[in-house]
Amino acid sequence: MIELEMQILSDRREGLLVELGRLVVSNGFSLIRQRLAQDSRGAWLTLIVRGPAERQLVLEEALATHSRVLSFEASLAGEGTGAAIAQAAPMSAIPASHVAPAAAPPVAAAAAALPDVRQVENVLPQMAHDYPRIFPWLVTLENAVSDDAREPSLLLAGRRTGAWVYKRDYALGAKLPLGDAVKRIALPALRGLATVEQHGDQLHIRNSAICSPRGRSGCKFFSGYLEGLLGDAMTAGTVFVRNLHCRSHGAADCVLEISH
């Protein structure tokens, strides 16, 4: 058995401990202690958990890729890295799109950028009101945040939007395996926003409104959208989306690969 200390940043605190606590328990760990605090970046949740060493990476992956988690750091309890990050260097936390081993060097994490949660929160009500005509609001978001925060902010806006669409349109359905979830949920939902074709486990988005040729890629929004949309829809409980190609970088289509 091992004890782990985990430092988690989320965009909001409501229900966070209950939701992530259930994930801890379902992976064979018990919750020893917890602390929840709020600052300008969002809600910081520190968890001390105990469980089987062979399940450590599984639990870390499940938490780091959860749709509500913006950043994630884990260490063996007693090493103090989680608390130190929260108090001294919160911007160095590892982003949820990357799961690092517990001993990951802090220099690698320091380059990670976090979303501008306040600006995302400002634009989400307008996006919900005008959905699916949301791309002007995404441009507004891009212009309101720093260059470093642009892609993480698009990712967060996508996750929040996708989770909202799932709860609005699909939450009453049964849990699905990945292939069925993509076919029955991801494709219909995405086609409300863009022209999309499926090729195996890849989705090709044609003429993306936020990925202009020789411009800045907006594919992080679509990645987050799919993660938020499918996170609660699948029997596996986790979903990974990779940006393989973008027309901003010269490709004919924006191509996303979905896996679990």
pLDDT tens digits in sequence order for the chain, 260 residues long: 899 999 999 988 899 999 999 989 998 999 999 999 988 888 999 999 999 988 888 888 788 878 888 888 888 887 554 333 333 333 233 333 333 333 333 333 334 578 888 899 899 999 999 999 999 999 999 999 999 999 999 999 999 999 899 999 998 888 899 999 999 999 999 999 999 999 988 999 999 999 999 889 999 999 999 998 998 888 766 788 999 999 999 999 999 999 88
pLDDT of the residue at 74: 85
Q: For residue 3, what are its two tokens?
A: 């004890």
d(CA 17, CA 159): 19
Strands 240-245 and 254-259: antiparallel
Cβ burial, residue 147 (10 Å; 0-12/13-18/19+):
exposed
Cβ-contact 72, 63 below 8 angstroms? yes
What amino acid is encoded at 157 in this protein?
A
Separation CA 226–CA 88 (nearest Å) = 33
Name the residue among 97, 46, 38, 99 with its Cα closest to residue 70.
97
Supply the pLDDT for residue 112: 53
In 87-227, beta strands by DSSP E: 94-95, 195-199, 202-206
Buried b (16+ CB within 10 A) or exposed e, 196-215: beeeeebbbbeebebbeeee
Q: Supply the Cα-derived Rg of the chain in whole angstroms.
A: 18
Alpha-carbon dihedral angle through residues 61, 74, 163, 137, given to the nearest 10 degrees: -120
